[in-house]
Each structure stands twice: as C-alpha cells, then as structure tokens.
Chains A and B, each alone.
Chain A
C-alpha cells in the first residue's frame, strides 16, 4: 500500500490536472466539435502529439511521486486560499463593468476605495489618507485612460 501522507500531494494534483488536460485534448481530436470542417487530419496531428506527450510526462510524474524513493517535501504554507482567487477575480470583473457602464471617474474611484480598504489592516483609522490616495490615483488613471489610451465606455456618465 502507498502511504499518501509521505508523498508530495502538490505533485500528485499537478500530474492529475495535466493528465486530465491531455486526455481532454486527445479526445477532442477524435471529435468534430470545435474543428473547422475544411480541415483534414494534418491539423489534428500536432495537438494530438502534444496531448499524448502531456499525458506521458504527467503519468511519469505521478508514478515517480507515488513509487519513488523520495519522501514528500516539506510543503510551504501558501497564503493563497480559494476565496482569495474568487474574490480578486470577481472584483476585477465587477470593477471593469462599473468603469465601462458608469464611466471611469466614478468607476475607478469606487474600485480603488473598495480594494484599498480591503487591504488595510485598520481602514477606519486611515480613512482620510486612503481617500486622498484614491482620488489622486483616480485622477492619474483617468488622464491615462482618456488621453493616452481612450477607453470606450457604454454610457459615459462621467468622462
């Protein structure tokens, strides 16, 4: 029996994800979905080859992790949690939507205020400094996105 506690879980997850991606890639080359009807078999050769190599290398990593002599490495305690990723990406998309729909002046200011306060250990204590920074940074970003790279907004309520 393999004692998984002594194995590097990071490598196990990595190899499983890569095997899955390779398998999806290789199965897709045998299906018609996602392929232009005008193409022949030649176009499928390279993706099939790369997908197969991905599976072979990922399986090798899995086998080495499970059956190799090395014990699991001391895993570093990563500060990243799933909710960090979800919250950060959601804020990114919502910020973008607000800027495009409401206009850069209001949109950027709201986003900066929310993000700065989210990062601040004591937001109530630093509310003035945070607000001043947010206003200055908004002004700079507006100049960039109206003069240097004109941003296309939907309603353009402000700027």
Chain B
C-alpha cells in the first residue's frame, strides 16, 4: 500500500465526525479533571480503560489523547485561581500564576498558560509525527540483546531522574517487575510464582492493576482528605474559598504582544518538555521545573520570577504539555512508554489489538497515521474549547468532592467488573488500590512501578532469548554494537544528569517534591 493511499485513508478516518467528537470530548473531560485538584488525567484514563475497548481504536485513542492533552492545561486553572495545582504537572505554574491572579490578572495568566500549553503541545506532536517512524525503523533491526540494553537504559533513566529518592525509584521499578513476573512465564506460558494462590494464576490482568494503582489509591486519599475536611468544617475551623471572578478587572486582557513577549520562555519550555518527555518515565513535573529554572536564567526579567511574571507561567506550561506527544514516541517506536500516562495509552492500544513497538508500523499503518492526525488536531481543539470555556472551568475547579468521588468509585468498580464479568478483577483492583496507597505513603513514585510492571515481561523475554542463543554466556549482552551504544549512553546520561541536577539543585528539589 502506497503512502498516499495510507494517508488518504487515515485522513478519512481522522476527520470522521465520530473521531472528532471523541477527541473533543476527551479534551473537555481532560481539562475538567485537570482543573479539579485531586483528579488527574492518569486517573481519568485508567477509569476509562474498561470502556474504550468496546469502541473503535481511532475513537478510543482520540478520546484518551484528548484527555492527556486537556488535563495538562486543566491543571493550571486551579493553580492560577487558588494556588493549588490541579495536577502535579502544574505545580510550577503556581509560582507565578497565582501571584498574577492575586494582582488582578487571572484571565491573562490562564490564557498565557493555554497559549503556551498549545504551542508546546503542537511542537512535540510534530516531532512525534516525524521522529517516531525513523526510530521505529531503527528498532526493527534490534535483537533481544539490543532490547535488553534499551530496557536497562529506561530503568536507569527513570531511577536517576527521580531525585527525591533514587533508591525508592529503583525499588518501585523492581517491585513493578516483580509483580509483572507473577502468574505465568513470558517465554513458555507455564504457571509460576503463584504461591499456591488461585488469584495469582495467569498473572494479574492489566486493567485492574492500572485502575487500582492509579485511581483507587487516589480515591482513598481523597476520601481521607474529605473526611478530615468534614471534621474541620464541623469544628468551624475551615472556610470555603470563593470562586475567582474573571471579569473583575477590565485591564485583565491577553493580547498578541503578551504571546510574543513570552515566546522565548515558551520555546525553552517546548524543547525541554519534548526532551524530558521522550525519556522513559520522566515526569511532566520535572520538565516544568527544569524549564522554569532555564527560562528564569535566560530572561531579562529573571528577578520578577516568583512575583507574577508571565514568562514564569509560559515556560512550565509549554514544558508539561510538550511531554504529551513526546512520551508517546518511545511507546510507538520501542514499546517503552515515556510516562505513566503513555503506559496507560499503551495498555489501551494493546486492548485494541495494537501492539506498541517496532512492528506497529507494519501491522497497523493506517491506525497509527490516523492517530498522528488526531494528536495534531486535538491540540487545536484544546485551544478552541478551552479559550471558550475558561470561565466555566474556573467554577468547576471548586466542585464538591462528595458528589464526584462516590460516582467515580462506582464507575471504576463496575467498569473493572464488566471487562470480563469476573469478581477476580474487582478483588485485584481493590487490592492494588491498597497497594498503590502503600507506595504513595512510602513516597515511592508510581511511574517507575508502572514502567517496571509493563516492561518487566519483555525484559525477561529478551534476557532469556539472548542467553539461550549464546548457550548461557552472559557476555552476549555486551557484544552487539547497538547494545554497547545503549550501555555507553546510560553511563553518559547518569553523569550528565548528576552534573546538571547538582547545578540546578534548588529549583529541581521543588519539582521532586511535587512529582
């Protein structure tokens, strides 16, 4: 099939009314959950996983990528309105967005966040289109030894970038790999490590694990916080914050000159976000803080950062949104997700019969090209709809959690059940909810855990295939040039990151605590 024919079919699929409607719904849903503190895009995608396997792959992926993009901008709304980031990725936006709102410029600040978000997002989406295919073609040449080296690189990256505790990042990745190993041997399919427990036979289904770890654990946290708030309200020691008025100040406008004045910071954010997004498991929060620090150094108004500088909103917002498209690049090219959200999108692809990795371009060409087009236009949907609905979103961010949490909880429980009409799924989901909460309480990051869980079986398969081909000679892992290249860049990366992070210690320490 020629490229022209593929593109024609992909354009036809992408611009079907249903595809556009699902992407639009995704963006609206994403901005809404992002705007509400406590709800995140990860959580929304995890809860929707059981539902998306019933619909066409184009619609499902459009919906999920829409949520991913929308939630990145949505997080800035409550960050600017109340100084409470809607998502961890928007924590850096609080630094200047909230002071600007207090000075009487909440609308300007939110529109700056929106325009920078969309710029960063479009930049990384274009790179997604142009980088993924060459990287995928390179990956086809990989054998098991090269893939094993790539997995080692991914684990090293995710651990090194987790500055708050690299040891805990490594532990989270290892426990993810350990849990992924339970149930069945990825090479022979034989039952193993079940500890004699029926529930463990065949391993854990991906949906209950993801929904439990991301959504249920977060809901338990929200439940505890709401209960604490309820007690404080009864004691009369807390009051509700009022919804921000966006029309209070007639001077509070966003003009084209503001966009150009902050363009340098937006570009810095876009480049940093894209680079960080491509690296496996590096969070959008770290991208936001890193770009904030770099934009501050590069700006003439560096001293104004933290007091309400528009550039201080532009850089982190461009960076966190730029991680969206970029984190899908390694997922499609190598089957290794660039972020926890990309891991969830990868799980949705697998449910749709699309296996992320180098073969995806030969097996699902039309779907992937359609996906590229949807990724691009979803950014503009975000711009259009969010520009229109900002006043509404500002009100939504104060929605009462007593209504939301119970409804989301029932949606998650029953959604998990209906994927296979199995009580086991519900039990596994609830158990992983408790397990995810334990990880959160130990301050272990969920990103490395999910990455370990997803790539663990492939990592084992490539290791065993390599050893089996060489008669159990461990040195086979270090003989192929591409594998050696990955080990070298792992070492270089570790050295560079230690050097860079030590230089920007103060700024990055904040990013770690928010990730």
Contacts and interface: CB of A to CB of B under 8 A. Distances in A.
A120 B195 contact: no
B177 A50 contact: yes
A33 B200 CA distance: 12
Given A80-B437, A144-B411, A151-B417, A36 B192 contact: yes
B contact face: mostly helix, strand, loop, or mixed: helix
A80 B430 contact: no
Nearest to A99: B414
Nearest to A108: B410
Interface in B379-425: 401-403, 405-407, 409-411, 413-415, 417-418, 421, 423
B191 A36 contact: yes
A29 B200 CA distance: 15
B264 interface: no
A121 B491 CA distance: 54
Contacts of B178: 21-22, 25, 47, 50-51, 54
A35 B407 contact: no
B414 A151 contact: yes
B439 to A, nearest CB: 9
A138 to B, nearest CB: 9
A89 interface: yes
Contact of B223 (A25, A50, A58, A88): A88
Contacts of A135: none
Contacts of B403: 116, 133, 137
A57 B170 CA distance: 8
B208 to A, nearest CB: 12
Contacts of A35: 191-194
Interface in B164-223: 165, 167-168, 170-171, 174-175, 177-178, 181, 185, 187-188, 190-197, 200, 216, 219-221, 223
A13 B444 CA distance: 12
A149 B54 contact: yes
B443 interface: yes
Nearest to B227: A84
B492 interface: no
Contacts of B405: 115, 119
A118 B433 CA distance: 20
B464 interface: yes
A159 interface: no
Interface stretch (B69-77, B228-236, B316-324): B228-236
Contact of B414 (A14, A58, A61, A145): A145
Given A14-B171, A34-B193, A35-B191, A79 B225 contact: yes
Contacts of A54: 171, 174-175, 178
B431 to A, nearest CB: 8
A14 B168 CA distance: 9
A151 B437 CA distance: 28
B192 A47 contact: yes
A121 B233 contact: yes
A43 B418 contact: no
A156 interface: no
A18 interface: yes
A58 B224 contact: no
A81 B230 CA distance: 15
A61 B188 contact: no
B418 A151 contact: yes
B181 A47 contact: yes
A4 interface: no
B6 interface: no
A27 B359 CA distance: 38
B441 interface: yes
Contacts of A120: 230, 402
A14 B187 CA distance: 32
Contacts of B177: 50
Contact of A116 (B233, B402, B444): B402
Contacts of A144: 51, 411
Contacts of B430: 89, 92-93
A108 B463 CA distance: 48
B226 interface: yes
A11 B233 CA distance: 33
A149 B192 contact: no
Contacts of A58: 171
Contacts of B194: 34-35
A85 interface: yes
Contacts of A112: 406-407, 410
Contact of B230 (A21, A80, A119): A119
Given A10-B443, A21-B178, A79 B167 contact: no
28 contacts: A11-B165, A14-B444, A35-B193, A35-B194, A36-B191, A39-B185, A39-B190, A47-B192, A50-B178, A53-B174, A54-B175, A60-B167, A80-B220, A80-B441, A84-B224, A84-B227, A92-B216, A95-B410, A96-B413, A99-B414, A100-B417, A104-B414, A115-B409, A119-B226, A119-B230, A119-B402, A122-B233, A141-B414
Interface of B: 50-51, 54, 165, 167-168, 170-171, 174-175, 177-178, 181, 185, 187-188, 190-197, 200, 216, 219-221, 223-230, 233-234, 401-403, 405-407, 409-411, 413-415, 417-418, 421, 423, 426-427, 430, 433-434, 437-438, 441-444, 456, 460, 463-464, 468
Given A79-B225, A137-B406, 19 more contacts: A10-B443, A21-B178, A28-B193, A34-B194, A43-B187, A43-B188, A47-B193, A57-B170, A60-B167, A78-B441, A80-B220, A84-B220, A85-B434, A93-B427, A104-B414, A112-B406, A115-B405, A141-B411, A151-B418
Which 3 A-B pairs give the minimum distances between C-beta atoms? A115-B406, A119-B402, A36-B190
